[in-house]
Each structure stands twice: as structure tokens, then as C-alpha cells.
Structure 1
């Protein structure tokens, strides 16, 4: 029903098919009313999500103010709040969402409100002005002069007396102002708050974070090229890179240091272009320039079987023609089906369909590898 206003004909077709199997439905989906809500709202979950949204907004404001785009990973974020439940929501329950949304590596909770802030109090003139009248001036002077320890006591008790007038919690505004640690500049650490919670971001450059940012840019270009080539997310391919800069070592070192995260995201290693097999079928190639100061080319190929010819020849007692025929047959096979057969056979398959050739057992890692990445990985372990 939610789709009906946007795709009326499609949803109507679906609804009419449902009517054939159900009784008592309206003649058209456009005659139906939205169902009424059932069950109870979980206000605790709503509160947690609201708190998360506040933290994310404050952190994004800090990034924008310091020209730190979201694609740039940051070392850590500190959340300052006196309530342990608030800190648990952000740093435990919803931690993964916050880390991903803000691209920070760590979140640190802090319930010591004076560690990174100074407190000051301001009277709420809109409320007290009417109630106190002429006494407002003397009360305001006392409220502004209140010390930090007294402010904390006021927050705990919820009331305090000034010039003989008892003021409640909602009549005084407690303002928290960020206080940087010694020897830390605004360019290295900045904060934002809403009067209740304070968010602090560590903006200092970090070599590992810099490399992670470059790797993320390269991965992004690979994903775009996959989409441009019409590949599905489930299509198994091999990806190669080539540095186009004069200093080719810089990008190569970054790819090596970020190998694990690249593998996790792409589902396969990012290989050096010199590893492309002469038999590889290339889907596409694209050059990219000026990405965080780097220029490189990305090549995507079909996975290429890598044969250990000497060991395959041994299967046939030194008969090279039999070995070549086996390789030709395996190359003609659909790669995904061949992969499935090896998985089902726990790394081994039996070849008995080649005419006038003996039956042989072919093993992964001993006679061949299913892709270039597996082959080179075995050589580096």
C-alpha cells in the first residue's frame, strides 16, 4: 500500500493477483485504507535513536566547520555526558551505526563533564523576568557568578536559592563550553554541543588513517567501474591496479598495508597489473587521475585458471599432450560451476571425460589455482 501512490499500476497488478488467492479484499488497492498501528511503542528505543541522531549531527557540524569530508577517516570521537545510560546508547548499543555513519575509528565515553568543559550558568530571562520583576537584576548577577561545583550541585538537586528566591532547574540554563587539553590547537581537536551533550573530534592527521582513506577511494573507483561494466555484486572477478604516477611505490605500499580491508570490501585482493595473465579476458579498464593526489588505472578481468604444468604432466607420466588437453578442457569450463565442483569435492575433482586419456584426480593447490589471486597468495605465504 505504501508503494501504491508511486507505482499505481504495478501495485494494482500485484493486488489483483493476491485477490485470486484471498477472499474479502477490496476491488482495488486504491480503495484500501492504511492499516492502523498495533502494539506498543518502545519509547526507550526511540530515545536511543534520537540521542544517536543528535551525536551524528553535532559531529557532522564539526567536520564541516573544519573542512573534513566524511570520506576522510578520523582517529576518535569523545562523547561527554554525565548520564551513564546516554553514554551506553552511543558507545555500546548503537556504536557500530555511529562509527559507520561518521567514519571514525573509535568512540570514547566520558562522564566527567569538567574534563573537557567549563560550566557557567545563565538565568532564563523569558521565565524569570515575569516572576521576579525588579529582583531580576540581583538574581541574574548571583546566577552568573555561581561556581562550577555549585552548578553541579544545582544539577543534582534541581533547585537553588538566589537573593531569597528559589529557582528551579528549568529556570536556569547550564552552558557547557569546550576546553581543549593543553598544547592542543583548534585544528587538532574541535567540539560541538547542544547544551546537554558535548561531542569532541580528534582531527589530527594519522598515517594509517590517511592510507585507509586512499584505499577507500580506490575501492570506490573499483565499485563504480564494476557497475559501469554491468557486473552483478555476486559476479566473481579479479581486479588489478597500475600506478600512473612517477612515484609508483607510494600507491603500492598503501595497497599492501590496506590489503585486509580491501579484500574484505571487494571480496578479492587488489592485484598488481604485472600479475595479469596473458590468457585473461578483460572486462574493462579505466584510468583515474587526481584522486587524493594519486593517478592509477583499474582493470577488471574474468578469473583466470593458473596451472602448475609440471605437476599436471606428472599426472600423465610425462605426456605433455595429455596435460595440454586437460588444461584446454578446464579452460573451456564455466568458472563458477568448476568452482562449485571443487568446493563439493573438498578441493579435488575427477576428470574422466577426456577421450583416450586416463582418469585423473585434479587438486587445488597441487595442480592448479582457480584465480590469479589464489596463486600469488600461495607464493607469498
Structure 2
């Protein structure tokens, strides 16, 4: 059995490792900590011994959450992991007949757990609550005055009574399967009685409710189980014997109805706890368990929590802080066979107990040698017994094992076999605390809590400095993913079609880590299209012009666009570094996205002609070196976010260099993180360029409104903006395809102008189209159409072509004469000729310009 348990630990190892590596999750897969390892268990024993020595480990009999299928109790934090919303349960109102009454007089009681009714021993009321007796359907019912709305139909108010005056009244039990020695079946006072729901009278079954049990222990109500550890009724409960309690609910309701003790039966949808392991509905069940008195260190828990940076920060005082404020003692023991054995031995004769904190201590008391390959699991550990030091009796181990969450919460210490090894490295801060951990929000009741609880119990500081608490992943409609709903997404489907980097980036940037994420594959596809393809196209552009013979130089470019993009790059380094140091991943990702768009849609678009200059052009060299520096640095910035894309970018950039020298590393992931250089950041330039882009955007809106495409040159743009600096005019001329940019005081008026004002910006475009401007616009349209044929033919900038044309219109004919040189230059054409000199071309199309047809074809030389 133990071997099968060990095998199950490793059952999905290959699957997890493949997923981990494909996702680019960089962890040490060769040296995992193993919770069933003897050294790991020895540390757990040592931790339990420290808790024992402080008097914080105790055994008690009380109601705990219990899984009848697993056969074990659960802790409060485990309970929180298995709650299901919208669980359907019975909601019934039952009549308990007042004893020794000559009338048909009943207490009206509400419950959602009919299975607990056979174990009813009392009814609880609030002493200060106002109750009433009402005549209803020829019977007298007693209930809280504020809950009269639960009655169906008319009633007559007979009497008002304070709850304290009901205490002590006896009633006839619904069932009498067993005889109790103690007094039972009478009304008692309890401060937990609520009038927010039900009838203000609470059915009390002390063995199946925490508050009921405490009340019963306080006033001496009988304690007897009618349900066994399998969750089934015992043989004394003859009508329902052997039935699982939840399955018995409808039978009990039916029985009460037949006996005319059921007032009303409905169903309710509410939140109910299920076993987080096996999905069985949990029972609240009185039994003996071992507990850690975490309530004793509550203030230290709260203090340690203050030292942790939570992302999102509201978790600290919210979900996690509130959990600590209401912390319960930890139900530690489990009635299982496989697990870390509880290291407590008890004398069979006198009851003396000893907690063992190491294998060496075990050897001392048992007077046996502990072998190196000693296996501390059951059944082997159960065979280790020794003589009691208080009497002649024999000490035997208490048979329980530990909560598996105690194993995981102890990992900062147990993985290093502390304190038996690595004591200094833990105590002096090398191995403890962790700088950073991350898990989903449900772990505020799980791992986040148990890590903090164990460290605090050991009088240590908080075990982690920073924690990112992740929201849950839902489907695109905001529903939980489940196999039954058919809305589960296999990550491998995304990996195999869109890559893991795209999935990573999608989650980084869609919203804050703590927010729930409505997963939509279209969003991942958009990442590829809008971000990754943009990055890659920028690289391909560089590669095209670098030509595999690029020699990086340290140049100080004087070009305003180079200066601007380098300023933006170093500002990006600063902002991303600050965001990552603060664990604000989404902000970092979105700043990178913005930079990528700035690089592609402004710097590259406005610098494109510079790259096409002669190879010995200083301006071309400056543009190439600037773009190279930006792309190499960007690959380093992207590395933590998109490890595969960053590596590919880095290696491909390296391949464009004629002779690779230091400081290139074997991998981008071996590079140092980029360091911001403050001197390149020109904030005035960044501010001015932002203004230029806003002007350009407004002018584009004006063109669109006037229905004049950018390919059509216009004579002038006027800018009535005091902050505008004329040294930026050339950028606007190229961007907007205007001949002049002029700064003026007031915008002109007239039918030949279109003006725009927005947010303090005022611009105007002269819409007058001279013949020369029209012809230049037509030539640009012809160039665009030819370049679309080049793209269709998958040609590169190194591929020259011959252009063939045919038109019956003399007006269009002249464009291939007067604009021949500009058309050839812009389309990389060696020759332009008519169709009469060729029978077949590589690509061709027929287009219309001003309603007149022209056929154009190209052939690669």
C-alpha cells in the first residue's frame, strides 16, 4: 500500500515536467523536495516537538468537519478549499409537540439537515427574543414574532412570550431510537439563536454541530452518536440503518410527513462544504482529534502578516487578514494510514505522553538503532514501543497521521532538513524567508496560511516577503471551468497552436493578477497578431537591411527620432524595473506593449526611408545601430515575460552580426538585466514628440473627414499651437504627406480648409488640389498597387523587377513617362515597359484610377 502511495506521488511527474518546461516556468526540476522522505519527516517531527514543548499541541473531543469517504477530519483551512456555491439541500419546517399539553401545541422549527433530526436532544431559543403563540390551521404554533412570515395562510395571534419563559419546557421527541441517561428533549437558551432565518427556534443535535456541541457540553446534554464513521446510520436507527445520511434525507422527510409532523418542505440553494480531495459532502461530526492551539499565537500571526507585501494589497487586511482575525485551532490529526506519523507516544497503563522530536531521540527511548534507510511511515513506526518512564506500562504511538497541509506549510524548513542540516543558512537568512511566492486566491486558506502558521509557531518571521495572489481562471462567460460544463480549455491546445509565450503575455496584461480572468482564446490570438508579430516584423525589417553583415558601432546619432526612441527605451527600462521590483506585473507588461507600438508605428514608420539610403550613408548607419540597440535591449526586457520569443529574438539578432564578439552571451537568459542610463532620457523631447503625434492624429482625423487619403499630397498643414517647435516640421510633413507645415496664431477659414480643435490642439489642412498635387497622388497610388504585387509575389527588397503596364488612356500613360524614376525607385524596378514586350508575367492586376482602367504586371529579374 505504501509503495502504491509513493508511486501515486510520481504518477503525473512527466506530465507536470513537460507542462512546466513548455510553459517556460524556470524551476529546479532535478531537486524537488519530497514530503515522504525520511529527512523531511524528521524535520516535521522536530517542528511538532517545538509546538508540544510550548504546550500548544492538545487532544480534544469536539465537532470537526469530517469526510466519511476519506474517513478523516479536516482543518478549518481545508474546509475553506471545498465550499460549493449553489448547493441544493432540503429546507424543512418541522413541528415538535409540546409535552403534557392538552392542546395541539407545537414548536415550529426549521432545518436544512433532516438527517440530524433523529439525534435531536434539545430546542434552543434566544432568552431576549420575542416569541408568539398563534392559532393556525386548528393548531397552536410557537415561533419568533419576527418570523411570522414563514407561515402559509392566515393565523390568529394568541400570546406573546419572551424566550426566557420558554426555557425548560419539554416536548415529545421526533424519534426515540436510544435511551439517554441525561435529561433531553427540552427547551434551552443559547446566544447563537438568530431570527434572520428559520423560526427563531433551533433544533439541537450536539454530535453534529460545533455550537450545538459547545452548548451541550456546557449544560450537560446527552452525547451519543447515531451515525458511524462511514456517515451511515447505526443499527439502532432501524428505519434508516445503513443509509448514508444525505441519502436518508428524503426518507426522513417522507416519514415526518406521514406522521403529520412536517409543516412545509422546500429546497434551498446555499454554500456547503465538500471534501477538497474526493468531493464528498462533509459532515460536522464529534470525534477525538489532535489540535494545534493556533489561537495562542494569533497576535503574532497578525503582526507577521504586516511584514508581507501582498499583491493585490487589499488581501492583507481583507481576505487573509480577516481569516487571521477569526483564526481557529488547527485540527492536525488524520485517521489515515499513509502520511507523516504523529510523533506522540502514550502509555497504555497510566496515560503519560511523550512527543519525539528526532530519530535520535526515538532511538534513545526505544533503545534501538535507527538505520540509515529507516522508513518512519506506518506500519513500521507503529511497531516501535518503549517502556513508560512513569510506570511499568508500555508506550505506543498514537495512531494518527498529520494533516498534509502541515507537510506543505513546513516546506521552508523540512526541504533543508532543518535544524539537523543547514541550520545557519536558515537562521541567518540565506534560505529563509522566501523573497516571493505565488498561488491562486483559494490558498489564502491553504498554503499561504499554513506557511505563515508554521513559521509563526516556530517563533520565526513571516516565511515570505512578497506574494502574488492570483484570481481564478474562468471561461469567457465568467463561469467556472469544469468537465461537466464542457468549458475546460486544455493548455496544450494553446501551446501547440499559439505558443506558451502568447498565453503568458495574455495573462500578464489582460488585468491585474488578483482579478478573475475570463479566458477567451481570441485574446491570446490578439497577443500574437498585435504584439508578437509586430515585434517580429520589426526584427525582419532590421534583418532585411542589416543583411547578415552588420557591424554594430557605438554612434551618437543626432537624428531626432533616434534620440527619441533611445530616450523612450531607457525610460522603459526604469519603469519596467520599478514595476517588477514592486511585483506589479500587469503595469510592466502594458508599458512594454506601449513601447512596442511606439517603436513600430512611429519610430520605424517615420525612419523607413533612412534605411533605404546608400550603404555608406551615416544616417543609415545611425538608424541601423539605433534599431539594433533597441531590439537587443528589448529582448532582455522581454526575457522574464516571454522566454521563447526573447531567446529567438536575441539569437537572430546575434546572427545578423558579421563577427560576434563579447559581450554576447550563449543565451539571453544569461544576460544581465538592462540598466537605465539617465543621460539618454530627454524628457522635453519625449513631451514634444507626444505633442507631434497628437497633432498627426488630429490631422489624420481631418483627412478622413474630408475623405482624402494620405496618399494624396496636400499643400500645407497649419498649426495654431504655441508649444509647437518647428524643428519637428519634417516629421509631420512625411507623416501627413503635406508640402509645408506652418505655425500660425489663428486657424484660417474658408471652403478650401478643414480645421480641427481638440484638447487645446488646433490644426488646419489646405484641401486645394492643384494639377501637380493630383498627379503626384495618382503616381503614389500606382506605386502602392505595384508594391502590393511585390508582396503577393513574396519578393524582398533585394529582388529587382520589371514593370509591365497597359492602358488605353493617354492621361494615365504619361505617368509611366513623367514619374518613371520615382516609380522605379519606390518599387525597386530595373525597367518599366508596356505589355507588348511580354506574354506572361509573375503577378498582375487591373486597377481603376479616376474611373479609367490600367493593367499592371511584374516579373522578378
Return the TM-score normalized by structure 2. Answer: 0.23
Max radius of gyration: which structure?
Answer: 2
Relative contact order higher in (CA < 8 Å, ≥ 6 apart): 1
Return the TM-score normalized by structure 1. Answer: 0.49
